[in-house]
Amino acid sequence: MDEVEAKKQERSKSKMAVTHTSRRLIDATHRDVDFETLKGFIVELEKVYDEFCIITDEYELLVSDQKFVKHRVVNGDDIKTYNANVKQTYVEARDVYVKIKAENERSKQSIAMAPLMTALRRDMNRLQDIISAVDDSLSQEAPSSGSLQMDKSDMENLLNEMCDKINKLTAIQPDIYLPSDVETIMGTAYNKIRKINLNLKKNQAPKVPVILPNDEERPKNTEGMLTNLTPNVTSDVHTLAGGSTLEPVGPSTPNSLLTSLSADMSPVNPN
C-alpha cells in the first residue's frame, strides 16, 4: 500500500511540473521574450512530460493488480482521463511554441531572401530592356549581327544569374512563391535567343568550297614543261647602223647578240 501511495504522489508532482512549465512557456510568448528563451522552456517541457509518461505507466502497471483497484480512480478521474488531461496541457503549450517557431523561421527567411528578391527584380528590368532592344533590331531590314550577338550574350548571362538567384531562394524557402512575371520574362528571353540564332544563321556568309583536282586531272608527265614556256623565236635578221646585223636570240645562241654588237663597236676615245 505504501508503494502505491508513493507512486501516486510521484505522479501528482510530475503532473504539476508539466502544468507549471506549460504555463511559463505560454506566459513568455505573451511577453514577447526572445526565441532563445522560448527554446529553453520547450526543452524543459519535453523533459518533464517524458518523466510524467514514465511515472504514469509505472503507476498504471502497479494498480493493475486487483487488490489496488480503488487507486485506479483519483479525484474522479480514471487513469485514462488523468493522462489525457496532462497531455492536453502539454500539447497546448507545445502548439504555441510551434507557432512562434514558424513565425521566427519566416522572419529569418524574409531577411535572407530580401536582397535576393531585390537583385532578381533588377535582373528582370535589365532583361526587359534587352528584349526591347532585340525587338527593335529584328524589326530592321538588315539588323546588325554584332549588336544581336552582344544582346544574346547579355541575355544568356542574365538568365544564368537569375537561375542562380532562384536556386538560392528555393534553398531558403522550398515552397517560395515567385511572381508570375519572372517565368514569363525568362521564357520570352529564351525565345528571343532562338530568334537571334536563326537570324545569325540566315545572314551568315556562305562558305566557298575549295575543289581540288583529282588524280586523273593532274598531268602525268612534267618533262619539257619549262621548255614549252620559252617564247617562240623568229628568224628575222635586223640590220643596225654601220652594217652590223642583229640576229634573234634563241636557246641555242645565248651570246649571239653580245657578239654581233661588240664586233662593230669602236672603243671610246677619252680625248
CA distance 200 to 180: 31
Distance of CA 130 to the CA centre of its chain: 20
Q: Domain residues of the chain, as ranges?
A: 1-203
Cell reading at 41: 522552456
CA distance 44 to 37: 11
Residues 246 and 237 sit within 8 Å (Cβ to Cβ): yes
Percentage of the chain modeled with pLDDT above 70: 75
Cell reading at 170: 528555393
**pLDDT digits over 4-44, tens only?**
888 889 999 999 999 999 999 999 988 888 888 999 999 99
pLDDT of residue 125: 94
The predicted model gives 212-222 an average pLDDT of: 57
Output DSSP code: residue 78. E
The residue among 85, 95, 111 whose CA lies nearest residue 38 is 95
CB atoms within 10 A of CB 151: 21
Output DSSP code: residue 70. G
The predicted model gives 166-174 an average pLDDT of: 91
Q: Which of 1-5, 179-183, 257-261 has the highest mean pLDDT?
A: 179-183
Q: Provide φ and ψ at 143, rounded to 5°.
A: -65, 150
The residue among 50, 58, 61 whose CA lies nearest residue 17 is 50
pLDDT of residue 200: 87
Q: Which of 44-53, 72-81, 215-224, 238-247 has the highest mean pLDDT?
A: 44-53
Which is more confident, 117 or 237? Answer: 117
pLDDT of residue 269: 47
pLDDT of residue 3: 83
pLDDT of residue 2: 79
Cell reading at 120: 532578381
- Residues in Cβ contact with 77 at an 8 Å cutoff, skipping those fewer than 6 apart: 85
Task: Find the helix packing angle between 35-62 and 79-138, rounded to 10°.
Answer: 140
Instruction: Quickly state the pLDDT bin for 216 (edges 50, 70, 90).
Output: low
pTM of this prediction?
0.53
Determine the length of the chain. 271
pLDDT of residue 117: 92
The predicted model gives 208-228 an average pLDDT of: 55
Instruction: Quickly state the pLDDT bin for 265 (edges 50, 70, 90).
Output: very low
Residues 11 and 61 sit within 8 Å (Cβ to Cβ): no
